[in-house]
Amino acid sequence: MNGTWTHRTVLLNEAITALRINPDGHYIDATFGRGGHSRLLLSQLSALGRLTAFDKDLEAIAEAQTIVDPRFSIRHEGFMQLGQMPAASAAGVLLDLGVSSPQIDNPERGFSFRQEGPLDMRMDTTRGQSVADWLADASMETMAEVIRDYGEERFAGPIAKAIDRRRQERGPLRTTAELAEVVAGAVKTREPGKDPATRTFQAFRIFINAELEELQQALQASLKVLQPGGRLVVISFHSLEDRIVKQFIAGHSREVFDRRAPFAAPKAMKLKSLGRIKPSADEVAGNPRSRSAVMRVAERTEVPI
């Protein structure tokens, strides 16, 4: 891994504090990334404590293998596999969503519209379809739907039409620069300081990695694997993710009444919401990529699933 591609962990101390570490507990870092959260968490565990990490990225797996610690293990899997862990086995689950700086900064990964590179965007390059391969065959209607739904892009229709026209005239798109150029030609206005391709690149990345579907599965699985009193900590970086997390926590933080049995006792809540945290002004000043981060915290109640 190129050492020039560094990563600054967002909300590092805040996330570990929110987990309320029990030194003897078992914790799950479901998005290892470059290991910032994992390393700090490990430093607070006793000899009896354990940390299990997940990541789909081969470079993250390579980084994890530099941690020589019998309390630590890494799984080359997405966090949608969280449900494979034993029930009520974890004192805390951490999800740090989004893309790491090394993934963005390495042009070979194809995540950034600022650098020329292959149009890939897969978190796990050993499996699945790249964005370039998907765009080669996707219908104009499907492209527009993805750009609109996952990028919240109001010019989704014109962008999809421009991509389709480019395919017919010059063949499939293969590089990030080619896609950025097509999008820029289709988007006539944009907020100051915002690149026209930002929302489209976000949409294709989220879609090709099934990020929102995986998040929903992981959140549901957290109810199974968390012990009573265990903490769920989720850091998100855009409104689509945060909305899912917010609604999930809210939906499980209230008693549920069965309208068909109005006199029956309500089903007790499964989570207790502990609020949200944003990066400090100092953190944003030192790491501008943290400015959109939102961390939400919840605690598993004593009620069994």
Instruction: Provide the CATH number for the domain around residue 197.
Output: 1.10.150.170
Does residue 219 share a domain with residue 158?
no
Q: Examine residue 117 and state whether it is found in any structural domain, yes or no.
A: no
Q: Examine residue 4 and state whether it is found in any structural domain, yes or no.
A: no
pLDDT tens for each residue of 203-225: 999 999 999 999 999 999 999 99
Q: Rounded mean pLDDT of 91-114? A: 86
Does residue 87 share a domain with residue 139?
no
Does residue 151 share a domain with residue 271?
no
Residue ending a domain, choose from 172, 192, 208: 208
Residue for token digits 């910032």?
36
pLDDT of residue 1: 40
Does residue 223 share a domain with residue 152?
no
Number of domain units in the chain:
2
Residue ending a domain, choose from 150, 176, 208: 208
Q: Examine residue 114 and state whether it is found in any structural domain, yes or no.
A: no
pLDDT tens for each residue of 268-289: 789 999 999 999 999 999 999 8
Rounded Cα distance, 204 and 153, in Å: 12
Nearest residue to 11 via CA among 31, 22, 103, 25 = 31
Are 5 and 26 within 8 A, CB to CB?
no
Instruction: Provide the CATH number for the domain around residue 58.
Output: 3.40.50.150
Q: Which residues of 23-61 are buried (b: 16+ CB within 10 A; e: fewer)?
A: eebbbbbbbbbbbbbbbbbbebbeeebbbbbbbbbebbb
Q: What percent of the chain has pLDDT over 70?
A: 92
Does residue 90 share a domain with residue 23?
yes
Q: Examine residue 287 and state whether it is found in any structural domain, yes or no.
A: yes
Residue ending a domain, choose from 189, 208, 227: 208
Q: Which domain holds residue 203?
A: 124-208
Q: What is the separation of C-alpha 164 from the centre of its chain, rounded to a whole number of angstroms?
A: 29
Output the CA–CA distances (angstroms, integers) from residue 139 to 160, 182, 300, in the order listed. Answer: 9, 16, 43
